[in-house]
A and B are shown apart, each in its own frame.
Chain A
Amino acid sequence: MNISKIRTVMEEEGIVFSFSGMISQALTSFMVETAKKQLEERGEDGKITRNIFLIAIEQLQNIMSYSKGRDTSNANKYVSPGVMVIGIDRDKDKFYVLSSNEIVLEDKAKVIKKIDEINALEKDQLRKFLREKLRSAEDKHDRGAGVGFIEMAKRSSEKLEYNFEEIDGKLYFHILTYA
């Protein structure tokens, strides 16, 4: 094991908090509360801290929503492997929230359509757009209102950045949000 290598990467990428593994609700709560506490202790702006907290919740719950993998010991149970990183982009002097999860090919076009539609809107339009979607409930599903990307965009100072990557026959979705 090479801990120095891990530390170097973390310093280079400005990482404040990161996790890779199975995402659960309990872990989501632990991670966002810990990150919030760390940011408060650093004396970061309250507004930025709240935005990071909410963006991270949406990204983590998205990982749980989009993961379709099943537990090998219990086929009724979903497993949600993912990576979540909160860090500081030194060039932009902004906090970022970055996450990665496996996604099924059928969801790819849907995700692209959703995010591109959101990225075409300005801040004041997003506020209205979210309320329209909440009202119509057209994207509602069992585990959420289907409006997580809109909430992320509302809390973000920049457009949502995303890409898809195929590794060893698996498709991964990455999303980057700046607070």
Chain B
Amino acid sequence: MENLKIEATKYTPEIDFDVVNGALNITGKSYPENTFEYYKPIVEWIKEYMTVIDNDRKITVNLDLEYLNSSSLKAYFDLFDILEASHNNGKNILINWIFDEENDIAEETGEDFIEDFTSLNIKLVVKD
């Protein structure tokens, strides 16, 4: 399986998924028009990754998303569903929800994910 790397655009985040060290980083803004089309290959990659990786390997998902439109919110809800299913199958997943201190919207979104996905290990991380 290969790493996944997608450059950021004005309205889509940078994707940097590393097979070997288990770091899945998504950084930037997300407000594309065809959101589900955009996230399809990203979701497919994660699904495949969860089938090839050993249960004792640590997976760290770093989500640093400054802005999300409503359809991107939906895409991340779906992503968290997949991560939750993988967690329930024994995968070792840590999710870091990263945001700027003054970005109350991003903080609130992270809090919502924690409330909705109680079995997942989600940490709120304030940027330095």
Interface residues on A, range: 20 to 34
A29 to B10, CA, bound (A): 7
Contact of B70 with A150 in the complex, beta carbons under 8 Å:
yes
What is the bound-complex CA distance between A50 and B11, given in angstroms?
15
Structural contact, A134 and B74, CB atoms closer than 8 A: yes
Question: B10, B32, B108, B116 — which one has the most chain A CB atoms within 10 A of its CB?
Answer: B10
Which residues from B are CB-within-8-Å of A104? Answer: none
Please state if A61 and B33 are interface contacts (CB–CB under 8 Å): yes
Nearest Cβ on chain A to B86's Cβ, whole angstroms: 18
- B10 and A58 form a contact (CB under 8 A): no
Q: Does B45 contact A (CB under 8 A)?
A: no
The contact size tier of chain B is 20 to 34
A5 at the interface (CB under 8 A from B): no
Cβ of A118 under 8 Å from chain B: no
On chain B, the residues within 8 Å of A47 by CB distance are 102, 104
Question: Is B67's beta carbon under 8 Å from chain A?
Answer: yes
User: Which residues of the partner chain A approach B34 to less than 8 Å between Cβ atoms?
Assistant: 143
Separation in Å of the A144 CB from the closest CB of chain B? 4
Contact, CB under 8 Å: A46 / B70: no
A54, A135, A143: the one within 8 Å of B67 (CB): A54
A87: interface (CB < 8 Å): no
Name the one of A51, A53, A135, A144 contacting B77, with C-beta atoms under 8 angstroms.
A135
Whether B112 pairs with A147 at a CB distance below 8 angstroms is: no
Residue of B with least CB distance to A133: B74
Let me know if B103 and A50 touch, CB within 8 A: yes
Q: Does any Cβ of B come within 8 Å of A57's Cβ?
A: yes
Q: Is A137 an interface residue (CB 8 A)?
A: yes
The answer to whether residues A151 and B74 also contact, given A25-B33, A29-B10 and a CB cut-off of 8 A, is no
| CA gap between A134 and B77 in the complex, in Å | 7
Closest-CB distance, B101 to chain A (whole angstroms): 11
The interface of chain A, by Cβ under 8 A from chain B, is 25, 28-29, 32-33, 46-47, 50-51, 53-54, 57-58, 61, 64, 127, 130-131, 134-135, 137, 140, 142-145, 147-148, 150-151, 155
